[in-house]
C-alpha cells in the first residue's frame, strides 16, 4: 500500500502517518524527520537545509527530490509506505509521478487532512517531537506517558525551532501558495480523499481506516 499525506503544517499528517504505518505494517517516510536527523548529525544536506527550515521556507527541490525517490525504491519498503511531507509542490508531485510511472508503480491513496489555520498555531506551540525516532506528541492532546520523554524510544522530546508562532504563520502562507495546485493535481487523478482533521486524533484515524480498508 502506498499512501501520500497532504495537509497544512500541523494538520496531523505525522501523527496519522505513524498510526497508519503501525496498523498496516508499512514504512513511515517523513521528509521533515529525515531533514531534522541530517541537521542533528551536521551532514552537508543538514547544513544546507537548516538555513531554509529555520526561516519556515521550503528547502529547494534539488535537496529533497532525489532523497525521497531513492528512499521509496529502497528494499525495506516492499510492503509499501506512507509518505508524510512530500510532495509539497506541484513540481515535486510531477517528479514523484514520473519516477513511479517508470517502475509501473501507482500511489493507492492520497489523504488530505483539512484543518483551518486558526487551529494550527495553538497545535504547534504544544507539539513535542522525538529527535531519535520522529514520534510526535502534544502536551495536551496527545501527551507522552512521562513528561518530555518519548513513549517509544525514551528519547528526549523537544519543541521545534520552527514551531514558534511567527514561523508557523509564514509556513502556513507558503503552504497556501502551493497547495491548491497540488490538490487539483491529485483530484484530477481521482485518488484524493479529504478528511476532517479537526476531530480528535482517534476519530480522524477511524475515518482514515474507513478509506484504507481493514
Ligand atoms: P510539518 O510537520 O509542520 O508539516 P515537516 O516536519 O514536514 O513540517 O517539515 C519541516 C520543514 O522541512 C519544512 O518547513 C520545510 O522547510 C522542510 N521540508 C520538509 N519536507 C519538504 C519538502 N517536501 N519540500 C521542501 N521542504 C520540505
Ligand atoms: P503535521 O505532521 O501535519 O505537521 P503533526 O502530526 O505533527 O502534524 O500534528 C501537529 C500537532 O498537533 C502535534 O502536537 C500533534 O500531537 C497534534 N495533533 C495532531 N492531530 C491532532 C488532532 N486531531 N487534534 C488535536 N491535536 C492534534
Ligand atoms: Zn522516540
Model confidence pLDDT, tens digit, residues 61-118: 999 999 999 999 887 888 999 999 999 999 999 999 999 999 899 999 999 999 999 9
- What is the average per-residue pLDDT within 194-208? 98
pLDDT category of residue 214 using cuts at 50, 70 and 90: confident
Q: Is 36 a catalytic residue?
A: no
Q: Could you tell me if the CB of 204 is within 6 A of ligand 2?
A: yes
- What is the average per-residue pLDDT within 29-44? 94
For the stretch 141-196, pLDDT in tens is 999 999 999 999 999 999 998 998 999 999 999 999 999 999 999 999 889 999 99
The ligand whose atoms approach the alpha carbon of 201 most closely is 2
Residue of the CA atom closest to atom 23 of ligand 2: 201
Sign (positive or negative) of CA dihedral 119, 124, 125, 130:
positive
E strand residue ranges, the chain: 2-7, 27-30, 81-84, 109-114, 127-130, 136-138, 157-158, 192-196
- Answer for the pair 106, 100: CB distance below 8 angstroms, yes or no: yes
Q: Could you tell me if the CB of 95 is within 6 A of ligand 1?
A: no
Those residues with Cβ within 8 angstroms of residue 136's Cβ, 6 or more apart along the chain or in another chain: 14, 15, 18, 127, 128, 129, 130, 142
Q: What's the pLDDT score for residue 203?
A: 98
Q: What's the pLDDT score for residue 122?
A: 85
Residue of the CA atom closest to atom 5 of ligand 1: 32
Please give the backbone phi and psi of residue 34, each rounded to the nearest 5 degrees, phi first.
-60, -45
Q: Is 13 a catalytic residue?
A: yes
Q: What's the pLDDT score for residue 77?
A: 85
Q: Could you tell me if the CB of 59 is within 6 A of ligand 1?
A: yes
Q: Is 169 a catalytic residue?
A: no
Amino acid at each position: 500500500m502506498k499512501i501520500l499525506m497532504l495537509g497544512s503544517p500541523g494538520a496531523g499528517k505525522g501523527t496519522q502517518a505513524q498510526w497508519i504505518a503501525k496498523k498496516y505494517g508499512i514504512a513511515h517516510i517523513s521528509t521533515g524527520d529525515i531533514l531534522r536527523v541530517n541537521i542533528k548529525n551536521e551532514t552537508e544536506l543538514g547544513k544546507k537545509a537548516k538555513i531554509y527550515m529555520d526561516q519556515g521556507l521550503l528547502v529547494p527541490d534539488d535537496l529533497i527530490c532525489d532523497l525521497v525517490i531513492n528512499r521509496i525504491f529502497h528494499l525495506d519498503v516492499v510492503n509499501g509506505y506512507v509518505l508524510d511531507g512530500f510532495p509539497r509542490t506541484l513540481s515535486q508531485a510531477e517528479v514523484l509521478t514520473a519516477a513511479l510511472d517508470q517502475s509501473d508503480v501507482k500511489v493507492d491513496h492520497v489523504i488530505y487532512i483539512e484543518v483551518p489555520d486558526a487551529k494550527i498555531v495553538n497545535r504547534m506551540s504544544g507539539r513535542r517531537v522525538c529527535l531519535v525516532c520522529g514520534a510526535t506528541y502534544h502536551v495536551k492532546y496527545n501527551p507522552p506517558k512521562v513528561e518530555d520523554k518519548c513513549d517509544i524510544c525514551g528519547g528526549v522530546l523537544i519543541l521545534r525551532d520552527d514551531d514558534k508562532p511567527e514561523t508557523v504563520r509564514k509556513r502556513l502562507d507558503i503552504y497556501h501558495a502551493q497547495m491548491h495546485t497540488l490538490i487539483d493535481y491529485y483530484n484530477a487523478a481521482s485518488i484524493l480523499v479529504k478528511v476532517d482533521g479537526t476531530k480528535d486524533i482517534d476519530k480522524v484515524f477511524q475515518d482514515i481506516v474507513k478509506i484504507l480498508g481493514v
